[in-house]
Amino acid sequence: MRKSRRKRHSSWLNFIVTTVFAIVSLLLVFTIMTKSLDRVDKSKTTHTAVIDTIESSYPGIKIVTETSNDENAPYAVQYPQSEYIDFNHRVIDYIQSAKTDYFQSLDKGSGELNISFETFHHPSGYYSFIFFKNHYVRGEHSGIVVDSFHLNPKTGDSIDIATLLNQNEAHLLTLSTYIKEAIASDPNLEGHLINENVELATEPLWDNFRNFALTEEGLSFYFNQSDIASSAKGTPVIKLAISKVSPLLAKEYQATVPPVVQQEVNNLLDKPINSLEKKPDVSVSKGETAQLPSEKASKHVKKVALTFDDGPDPNITPQILKTLKKYDAKATFFMLGSRVEYYPDLARRVLLEGHEIGNHTWTHSNLTKANKEKINNEVAKTAGIIEGVTGAKATVFRPPYGAINEHVRSHIDLPIILWDVDTLDWKYRSSSHLLEAVKKHTKDGSIILMHDIHQATANGLDAVLAHLQEEGYIFVTVSELGTSH
């Protein structure tokens, strides 16, 4: 009896334990299943998120905000949408792929994803949207990553940096130079630059400058966190003034620019243009080269020809002219036709101050890789603009990169001028290096290569001239050097 009661009691207990165990197991399996289902689900759709769309203060632009407060996979992303399906898809694809990356990396634990953006509206109507992606997974922060999207709200077209610069490789080269200089001289980045990264990030490759914003004031370039400077500096923004970059841009993006630039050039000239046009008191006129002042010609003195390539530049060239004037130095400026077209007053001023102007092609192209038609076009168009704006013909020619062969030679009917002292000013951007290079290599009759587009060159020129003058040199144009030898 006692035994059987005990037995009954024990089987009753067994039943309860088994049932509870079964229920708990089922619950566990169910919980695990829903959890994993939930995770699979999240990487594909956003149904756990709250999506909100509002009109923005920018014409034609809506702002979409998606937020998820899921404690294991929280995220907040924000992006623009327009009336153009193509643009919208590009943006949504970017957002989707950022979310997919994020959810996949969550296997390592919990994290957070934030994407925000800034809007820039150019007077032409163009929008630049700069995205900042902040992706964090349990202790691993990948740094803030920048991306940009661009929209012409009249056509729905996108623009990229190559379109903006009219696919012009010479302009790309100039742009990379400007950006590198701006990075080096940015007081905010001083002491934080990672120099080898800066070299890579400013190589003249379209992809290096893909993240930009076009504004009324200029072009801003964005770099990822830790790309050029220590992470403490966040995502560095390098701004170039519109007066500086405008000549590099395709015509349609310059639309609102010329009056501003013209005014700046006039200011730099220190004088009204009319007074400059009046009296050339130097003996340079059509087709002729300047004559040496008689007292210089009669003495037996060492001569050197300073040459400045790739300008004129509204900031650098006037500074160089001022220094040349201080030392009564004459120099030769090998100008790009595309820049003479944009800064005709500077070209005139160079000539009026007694310097020589040389032809350096229109787009700075390597002529040894060009056919006859392209060579003629590059050279003739530049000759035309130089004569058109200054009234005098270019008297000498220098091939970009010094690249020359018999084929190119046969199409050029001007003296072809290379150099024997290469200061490498474009590479070092250092006033002290400029002086060292000149000290080391200059001899009587030298032709020194510099560029009037680099701030360090303009800054270092005074010391270079002081040194050469001390050494007994006088400064003549390359044509004067040629005729006196």
Query: Would you give the binding string for Zn ion spanning residues 258-297, x where CB under 5 A is met?
Result: ----------------------------------------
* 179 vs 257 by CB, closer to Zn ion: 179
Shortest reach from residue 309's CB to Zn ion, in Å: 4
Query: 92 near 107, Cβ under 8 Å?
Result: no
Q: What gap in Å lies between CA 430 and CA 455, rounded to an integer?
A: 9
* DSSP element (H, E) containing 174: helix 169-184
Alpha carbons within 13 angstroms on the beta-carbon side of residue 366 total: 6
Instruction: Please list the active-site residues.
Output: 309, 451
Parallel, antiparallel, or unpaired for β 356-359 and 396-397?
A: parallel
Stretch that binds Zn ion, among 63-71, 98-106, 233-241, 309-317 (CB under 5 A): 309-317
3-state helix, strand, coil in the chain (%, to 5): 45, 20, 30
For residue 312, is the peptide bond before it cis, meaning its omega torsion is within 30 degrees of 0? yes
| Residue among 343, 80, 123, 128 at smallest CA distance from 239 | 128
Q: What gap in Å lies between CA 424 and CA 449, rounded to an integer?
A: 8
Phi-psi region of 401 (alpha: psi -120 to 50; beta: other; left: phi over 0): left
Q: What gap in Å lies between CA 407 and CA 409, rounded to an integer?
A: 5
Query: Would you give the binding string for Zn ion spanning residues 391-430, x where CB under 5 A is met?
Result: ---------x------------------------------
* 121 vs 360 by CB, closer to Zn ion: 360
Choose, by CB under 5 A, the member of 309, 313, 341, 353 that binds Zn ion: 309
Residue whose Cβ sits closest to Zn ion:
309
Choose, by CB under 5 A, the member of 310, 341, 378, 480 that binds Zn ion: 310
Shortest reach from residue 336's CB to Zn ion, in Å: 8
Question: What sign for the dihedral angle of Cα 427, 458, 367, 176?
Answer: positive
Shortest reach from residue 398's CB to Zn ion, in Å: 7
Stretch that binds Zn ion, among 30-38, 173-181, 216-224, 301-309 (CB under 5 A): 301-309
Query: Would you give the binding string for Zn ion spanning residues 3-22, x where CB under 5 A is met?
Result: --------------------
159-218: contacts with Zn ion (CB under 5 A): none
* 82 vs 174 by CB, closer to Zn ion: 174
Stretch that binds Zn ion, among 12-20, 241-249, 306-314, 380-388 (CB under 5 A): 306-314
Burial class (CB in 10 A: 0-12, 13-18, 19+), 450: buried
> What does the longest C-alpha to C-alpha distance in the chain come to?
143
* 66 vs 309 by CB, closer to Zn ion: 309
Shortest reach from residue 378's CB to Zn ion, in Å: 12
Shortest reach from residue 449's CB to Zn ion, in Å: 9
Shortest reach from residue 427's CB to Zn ion, in Å: 13
Number of residues that bind Zn ion (CB under 5 A): 3
Positions touching Zn ion (CB under 5 A) are 309-310, 400
